[in-house]
Structure 1
């Protein structure tokens, strides 16, 4: 080893610090926004704050290495910790019919949204990210899929904005529809969990029908989250088949962070994670996703979003209608007298 190579690691770490410090400040600001406006999730607040910082000219070149690290490495660590929320026994307790309903809703929503996006003339990556967010778990799923596709940050921000907008509308629309449908509490919980985009939005929607609806909705929603791993792995397989040698070889069949996600699910299911760890792990996961999305937002040119804005909103509306109607149809079939 020559003397010139010795300080390289330290230099690399130092280059990350400015961007990571700014990302941490963005996390603190986004958390503050969420505390003042609970309807605004920290993830969405982080995207907006990052985009504002960049578009107001406050993103010097020194920040870029740390922001890039946050948008990729911290994101993937957040996906791994997301697995700690899930226990297979909770999914199985729903019963096979409800599990099949969730799988069918995710499959139809994902494929239908991707197809609609392409028919509307939207890009492949934006269609894929939107389909993932609407069918699985909102902003976290969008960010996780981008860990495989490595798409443009503008596409990530657009997809996150869509799940935030239309998921928020569901908080109002589904309880109003429940007034006409008069589903039993558990049925409304299944409908909310299977169709509303973000976990926080599911909680806000289902709690209007009581604790039984809320408990069912959360488990159904987490069952959708379980499907994030096979979905990302499937996209990874397709990318592996189409990757050219000029891209540095083929991507792994199952990305390492997806394997980590599945490992955390296994640990939770086997009872190897102490109950006292679950809340700190959930907090850490949220902070990591918030930092990653702030960094992604900081790479966005807001003017570029206007090129696809109207068509993207149409896609969001169609996808929300699709997931809501497919899930509701399944609930009506499963509900006696429904």
Structure 2
């Protein structure tokens, strides 16, 4: 029975929204993940989280996550992205690809278990826990493999909210350069907003558009990985002569995401509708991220996650450094 778990996740999302209303500097989605991690590691709640609530939390972390990602596409207008200019767009794409490949290579070099290398690479290079949730479904990652990347990207994204503003003036960045740096280097959309807003509305606008340009890359990267998974499953099927369930060539939710981007770009959607959809999308992702956070076992991560923590910190440093270099370009 999935209903109890979904209701608990929804209640946690509403609580996160309430806290965010009173403390806007705390991103709603980061709060949702944090609430899930806390609930999943409290002894009094752990039994329920792994028992009666587990089916609903699993559904939230998978199907509800995918619906939220589809609706996320309505935030993206290709016109706004093209308005950044080709230098900024190509720089953003290059940063994402270098961070993704570098983090994945480092994770494999340090022999992180299971699908952790690709999940950490996805979360740190694209859009945090949401991207991890999207990729985990494609690569059929186990909860244990997903938990550590979720915890790491939440930790580093939260640290960025405090660290980047401290470095703003010492690094000699203008308001707009700071916004560009934040959009290119911070993981989650909510964390970007929380970090960039201190530099004013112009910096915030640049940060959000740059960030959403990174989000757009979720679709092709997930699609490419899906193709690789399909070929891998075909190889396994050939070697074992056993039928294998191959993932779709392009996951359905990725197609839905791209359709939503096209709708936002070419269809004059009323502003009130966009505001309403944005609210629904945010809370759907909050519900899903609570479910993902609830699967995080901190004691297990503390025992075995030293290498993963190193990969996460290096990846965070890499994307921040590359992003800083990019904002220096004319």
Same fold (TM over 0.5): yes
Equivalent residue of 1:250, what SS? coil
Equivalent residue of 2:100, what SS? helix
Name stretches of at least 5 consecutive residues in structure 1 with no aligned partner: 1-14
Name stretches of at least 5 consecutive residues in structure 2 with no aligned partner: none
User: Is this contact kept in 2: 1:171–1:205, CA < 8 A?
Assistant: yes
User: Which of 196, 208, 212 is 1:218 aligned to?
Assistant: 208
Distance 2:197 2:2 in 1: 42
Residue aligning to 1:27:
13
Residue aligning to 1:280:
276
The superposition leaves residues 61-106 of structure 1 with CA deviations (integer Å, 9 ceiling, x where unpaired) of 4433333322221111111111011000000000000000100000
Equivalent residue of 1:129, what SS? helix
Residue aligning to 1:9:
none
Distance 1:95 1:205 in 2: 23
Moved more, 294-303 or 199-208: 294-303
Determine whether 1:78 maps to 2:64.
Answer: no
What's the CA shift for 1:278?
1.4
Distance 1:36 1:278 in 2: 23
Determine whether 1:119 maps to 2:109.
Answer: yes
User: Which of 269, 293, 297 is 1:297 aligned to?
Assistant: 293
What's the CA shift for 1:219?
0.5
Residues 51 and 32 of structure 1, relative CA distance in 2, 3 Å threshold: farther
Residue aligning to 1:3:
none
User: Is this contact kept in 2: 1:133–1:197, CA < 8 A?
Assistant: yes
Count of residues in Structure 1 that have an aligned counterpart in Structure 2: 320
What's the CA shift for 1:190?
1.4
Equivalent residue of 1:249, what SS? coil
Distance 2:108 2:147 in 1: 18
The superposition leaves residues 234-261 of structure 1 with CA deviations (integer Å, 9 ceiling, x where unpaired) of 1101001101345743211110000000
TM-score (norm: length of structure 2): 0.89
Residues 213 and 297 of structure 1, relative CA distance in 2, 3 Å threshold: closer
What's the CA shift for 1:189?
1.7
User: Which of 252, 255, 262 is 2:251 aligned to?
Assistant: 255
Alignment of 1:201-240 (within 5 A): 201-240=191-230
Equivalent residue of 1:138, what SS? helix
What's the CA shift for 1:213?
1.5
Residues 304 and 97 of structure 1, relative CA distance in 2, 3 Å threshold: same
User: Is this contact kept in 1: 2:57–2:291, CA < 8 A?
Assistant: yes
The superposition leaves residues 259-284 of structure 1 with CA deviations (integer Å, 9 ceiling, x where unpaired) of 00001001000134322111221221
What's the CA shift for 1:217?
0.9
What RMSD over aligned residues (CA atoms) do the two structures have, in Å? 2.2
What's the CA shift for 1:179?
1.4
Distance 1:139 1:60 in 2: 20
Distance 1:107 1:60 in 2: 36
User: Is this contact kept in 2: 1:125–1:151, CA < 8 A?
Assistant: yes
User: Is this contact kept in 1: 2:180–2:206, CA < 8 A?
Assistant: yes
Distance 1:248 1:232 in 2: 20
What's the CA shift for 1:293?
2.4
Moved more, 118-127 or 230-239: 118-127
Residues 175 and 247 of structure 1, relative CA distance in 2, 3 Å threshold: farther
Moved more, 126-135 or 302-311: 302-311
Distance 2:19 2:7 in 1: 19
The superposition leaves residues 143-172 of structure 1 with CA deviations (integer Å, 9 ceiling, x where unpaired) of 111121221223323222212221222223
Alignment of 1:1-338 (within 5 A): 15-35=1-21, 38-39=25-26, 41-52=30-41, 56-59=46-49, 61-243=51-233, 244-245=236-237, 246=242, 248-332=244-328, 334-335=329-330
User: Is this contact kept in 2: 1:109–1:135, CA < 8 A?
Assistant: yes
Equivalent residue of 1:306, what SS? helix
User: Is this contact kept in 2: 1:178–1:188, CA < 8 A?
Assistant: yes
